[in-house]
Amino acid sequence: MTATHPTSGVAVDPEPIDPRLAARAKAITERELKAYSVRTEGSQRATQRARTVMPLGVPSSFQAYDPHPIVVKHAAGSRMVDVDGNEYIDYDMGFGALFAGHMHPAVRAAVQAQLEDGTLYVTPCEMNAEVAELLRDRYRLPMWRFTNSGTEATMDAIRLARGFTGRNRIVKVEGGYHGHHDEVMISMKPPLELAGPADAPLSVPGTEGIAPDVVAGTVVIPYNDLAALERVLASGDIACFIVEPVMENIGICLPDDGYLQGVRTLTTQYGALLIFDEVKTGITAGMGGATGHFGVEPDLVTLAKSIGGGFPVGAFGGKQEVMDLITAGRVLHLGTYNGNPLVMAATKATLAEACAAGPTAEAIARNERLVAACQKVIDAAGLPAHTVTFGAKGCVTWKRDRVRNYRDYKTGYLDLAFAQWIHGINRGVMLPPGLDEQWLVSVMHEESDAMRYADVFAEFAAELTT
């Protein structure tokens, strides 16, 4: 079985591997796929039905995978139960959105209380400023606005950057995902045969339907490459560089020492704004996000996912002089549901209670123990893999060397990753297949929940190598 990325449809070719490992991984995959079909018959039926009324049978193409996705009926804390009654420990946690866990008691109480007072005013509520203050204190950026998703947050931040600089073109990283608006749906996971040279990648549309001038307006560079950034910025017409401080859509890809500081220096030097897209890192990285962790101040930060405690919220925050463009009416920022009181109640409870400093530190420490346990398994079995960690997230990367950018990621052992995934999901370890995602230890994962991943991984390693 070859997994494909849902939005690009590109098959990922793994590096050649030890033939014995490859043969064992194939045998495990075949056996586990059969077991999966038997234990997820209800999910299969539900998906078949859904495919008659929804493309791929899912509400977002990211949710589709072969042979069919798990269809879920119930979630609470760190667990989910599917329509067949199978229980999973959820390590995906809504692509990292559920740092608070599924329906944290504080979030539930806040949302229930708010239901008594209504769900949508389209005029401000006091919680708007309260939540903005909480974000200001964490991210040390003075001004904030709310959106309904990460996509809207990055779209609005880019528009602000264009308004502020009076420039049009933007720069993003190859392999980076920033949501599903046109100007960033470029080179998310481009097929290498279209992607051009590694140090000067081409801009490859990630979907049909994007106008050529939009594609031309987004310049793509490799992550962790300051020389490539400087070459592009030197053109003088770049409005912004939008980048995840830590890339979290190709496993976890960390910045080289000094990379983010270099990015800050260069963007300032060439008059482009720096947007840190923290939709995925967010508050899972610690109280001040990745921004606070690395101590590099961007001009704008985009957030979503983890700040909302499972509710659809996004936000962008920025320096006073940049956000003043909205105040002056030069850049419009709009949205019927922006800052609606239901979602604000969930966000406030998440930031102020569920994911306050204490629970955040505990989840990060628990994740460190999980990562260490997995690395021990890798070392003992001599697997061609390594662990990577950031904040409360971690991953097993099926590749011996560190991944520094998208091209490195493309050389990972996808077949081994798939075998681990299908083995794990049949034992109650819930993650999407492939090499893209990472696990999240939420504030509701107890020690034994977190460590279950390492136990199942150890079983898999033993089967793969003995």
Ligand X SMILES: Cc1ncc(COP(=O)(O)O)c(C=O)c1O
CA atoms within 13 A on the CB side of 248: 28
How many residues touch ligand X under the rule CB under 6 A: the total is 14
**Closer of 156 and 277 to ligand X (Cβ):** 277
Window 135 to 194, contacts with ligand X (CB under 6 A): 149-151, 154, 177-179
The 94-123 contact track toward ligand X, x by CB under 6 A, reads: -x----------------------------
- Cβ 463 to ligand X shortest distance, Å: 32
Query: Which of the ranges 6-14, 189-197, 222-230, 275-283 carries the binding residues for ligand X, by CB under 6 A?
Result: 275-283
**Closer of 134 and 158 to ligand X (Cβ):** 158
The 51-80 contact track toward ligand X, x by CB under 6 A, reads: ------------------------------
In 3D space, the residue among 125, 151, 139 whose CA is nearest the CA of residue 245 turns out to be 139
- Cβ 142 to ligand X shortest distance, Å: 22
User: What backbone torsions phi and psi does residue 146 show, to the nearest 5 degrees?
Assistant: -110, 150
**Closer of 143 and 153 to ligand X (Cβ):** 153
| Residues annotated as part of the active site | 177, 277, 305
**Closer of 157 and 195 to ligand X (Cβ):** 157
- Cβ 139 to ligand X shortest distance, Å: 16
What does the alpha-carbon distance between residue 388 and residue 378 come to, in Å, rounded to a whole number?
A: 12
- Cβ 306 to ligand X shortest distance, Å: 11
**Closer of 149 and 367 to ligand X (Cβ):** 149
**Closer of 108 and 178 to ligand X (Cβ):** 178
> Which of 244, 353, 436, 449 is close enough to bind ligand X by CB under 6 A?
244
- Cβ 182 to ligand X shortest distance, Å: 13
> Which of 44, 86, 249, 387 is close enough to bind ligand X by CB under 6 A?
249
Q: Is there binding between residue 418 and ligand X (CB under 6 A)?
A: no
Window 276 to 335, contacts with ligand X (CB under 6 A): 277, 279-280, 304
The 17-56 contact track toward ligand X, x by CB under 6 A, reads: ----------------------------------------
Angle at 264 between CA 272 and CA 405, to 5 degrees: 100
- Please answer whether residues 88 and 430 qualify as being in contact, where contact means their C-beta atoms are separated by less than 8 angstroms: yes
**Closer of 106 and 304 to ligand X (Cβ):** 304
- Cβ 229 to ligand X shortest distance, Å: 18
Residue whose tokens read 């030097």: 269
**Closer of 95 and 139 to ligand X (Cβ):** 95
The residue whose Cβ lies closest to ligand X is 150
Q: What is the 3-state secondary structure (H, E, C) of the chain?
A: CCCECCCCCCECCCCCCCHHHHHHHHHHHHHHHHHHHHHCHHHHHHHHHHHCCCHHHCCCHHHCCCCCCCCEEEEEECEEEECCCCEEEECCHHHHCCCCCECCHHHHHHHHHHHCCCCCCCCCCHHHHHHHHHHHHHHCCCEEEEECCHHHHHHHHHHHHHHHHCCCEEEEECCCCCCCCHHHCECCCCCHHHHCCCCCCCCCECCCCCCHHHHHCEEEECCCCHHHHHHHHCCCCEEEEEECCCECCCCCECCCCCHHHHHHHHHHHCCCEEEEECCCCHHHHCCCHHHHHHCCCCCEEEECHHHHCCCCCEEEEECHHHHHHHHCCCCCCCCCCCCCHHHHHHHHHHHHHHCCHHHHHHHHHHHHHHHHHHHHHHHHHCCCCEEEEECCEEEEECCCCCCCCHHHHCCCCHHHHHHHHHHHHCCCEECCCCCCCCEECCCCCCHHHHHHHHHHHHHHHHHHHC
- Cβ 55 to ligand X shortest distance, Å: 17
- Cβ 375 to ligand X shortest distance, Å: 25
The residues that touch ligand X, with contacts defined as CB under 6 A, are 95, 149-151, 154, 177-179, 244, 249, 277, 279-280, 304
